[in-house]
Structure 1
Amino acid sequence: MKRTALLFACLFAFGAASAQDDTMTGGMMSGGMMTGGMMSGGSMMSGGASMDQSLEVTLSGDQQVPPVTTEGTGSATVSLAGDTMTVRGDLSGLSSPLTEVAGSSGHVHLAPAGENGDVVFPLNVSADEGGTSAIFSLSTTLTPEQMDAFNAGELYLNFHTETNQGGELRGQITPSL
């Protein structure tokens, strides 16, 4: 939160210092620092645009729909730079080996928290010998519609195991607002 406030302060100061006319008219600052969007806590939301950000995502069985009882845990860092989303993370302690569903054992899905949704992207998953721990990654370009879903918190990570083929661990990607 402090980094976001500092970033906003620096961007605002830079914009005010570089503007030829520091008046605000119609939601636009002369000099072009802010244009027709609303900046709030690190996100620029207007027509799918978003400021670069890095989010920490916790994966758990409690987030599955319906919830799953598991000792498994996981975490991920989801970064957005322009329209490029990068995901890196790990998981461990799964109840059974990971299993492929729709071409991968892990995916990015489209749905708000509390709902299941369709696969949007497969994740690159590299499991240990027993298949109950893994690292995963993804780097992909988001369409404007996917960017809107990202900004709305409607993307989530999901991992499938032999015991829980619908998903054992889930983590909602919730941007800073």
Structure 2
Amino acid sequence: MNYLNCKIKQVSFELIIYTSPRRIKIMKRLSIYTFTVLLGIFWMLGDITDIKAQQSKKIILAGYKHNPPVSTTGSGLATVTLHGDTLTVKGKFEDLNANYSGAYLMVTIRGQSGNQLHRLKAKLNEDKTGGKFIGKDNRFVLSPSQKTLLKKGDIYINISSFENKKGELRGNIGPIGG
């Protein structure tokens, strides 16, 4: 029996591609540009997700929204923003019938005056019949049950004066966070 003896030689070679310095510069710029565009896209997508998670409502504050309605020259406007579990209130009110005594986030109870959830902090004007709600001073982390009340539209803003202690201005927040 004859066996065939074979030797296999390993052949290797290098492929050298010559790239000019100008082409290298262009490729670097292109990769930096591509990276920047992709970074911008991911940043924008992050902001879009953040925007979707944030919901805002403008609330008119008026005496006629009370039951029974309150006769007042006062009025106001508030913006309520829900971002995650945090509710922020900002806005202003003016021309109360008497000096301001307090402002609150309240829970609606059918046929009754509501229960207080949070006290709002107001920066009052000189005559103390108007003021502003600054967002950073009026941020509240809501419990799961409070978020449920907000989703159902059972929370409202109530501003009281010394003449109208149960409330002079009211604004229903309405369903938010759903």
Scaled to the shorter chain, the TM-score interval is 0.5 to 0.7
Per the TM alignment, residue 52 of structure 1 is displaced from its structure 2 partner at its CA by 2.1
Cα-to-partner distance string for 1:101-153 (whole Å, 9 max, x where unaligned): xxxx1000011687521100000111111111111241010000000000001
Kept in 1: contact 2:154–2:175 (CA 8 A): no
Per the TM alignment, residue 65 of structure 1 is displaced from its structure 2 partner at its CA by 2.4
Kept in 2: contact 1:112–1:153 (CA 8 A): no
User: What is the root-mean-square deviation in Å for CA atoms of aligned residues?
Assistant: 2.3
Kept in 2: contact 1:113–1:172 (CA 8 A): no
Say whether residues 1:131 and 2:133 are aligned partners. no
Aligned counterpart, 1:37: none
Letter in 1 for 2:156: Y
Aligned counterpart, 1:140: 140
Cα separation, partners in 2 of 1:54 and 1:112, compared to 1, 3 Å: farther
Kept in 1: contact 2:153–2:175 (CA 8 A): yes
The structure in which a higher percent of residues are helix is 2
Aligned counterpart, 2:61: 59
Unaligned runs of 5+ in 1: 1-13, 15-42, 44-50, 100-104
**In structure 2, C-alpha distance between the alignment counterparts of 1:165 and 1:75, rounded to whole Å:** 20
Per the TM alignment, residue 62 of structure 1 is displaced from its structure 2 partner at its CA by 0.7
Percent of matched pairs sharing the same residue: 33
Letter in 1 for 2:94: S
Aligned counterpart, 2:162: 162
Unaligned runs of 5+ in 2: 1-44, 46-51
Aligned counterpart, 2:149: 149
Cα separation, partners in 2 of 1:112 and 1:76, compared to 1, 3 Å: farther
Aligned counterpart, 1:93: 95
Aligned counterpart, 2:77: 75
**In structure 2, C-alpha distance between the alignment counterparts of 1:114 and 1:54, rounded to whole Å:** 28
Cα-to-partner distance string for 1:63-115 (whole Å, 9 max, x where unaligned): 1122100110001000000110000010011111102xxxxx10000116875
**In structure 1, C-alpha distance between the alignment counterparts of 2:156 and 2:77, rounded to whole Å:** 12
Number of residue pairs matched by the alignment: 126
Structure with larger Rg:
2
Kept in 1: contact 2:75–2:96 (CA 8 A): yes
Kept in 1: contact 2:54–2:81 (CA 8 A): yes
Kept in 2: contact 1:55–1:175 (CA 8 A): no
- Report the secondary structure of 1:167's partner residue: coil
**In structure 2, C-alpha distance between the alignment counterparts of 1:64 and 1:114, rounded to whole Å:** 12
Letter in 1 for 2:122: V
- Report the secondary structure of 1:62's partner residue: helix
TM-score (norm 2): 0.65
Letter in 1 for 2:65: Q
Say whether residues 1:106 and 2:103 are aligned partners. yes
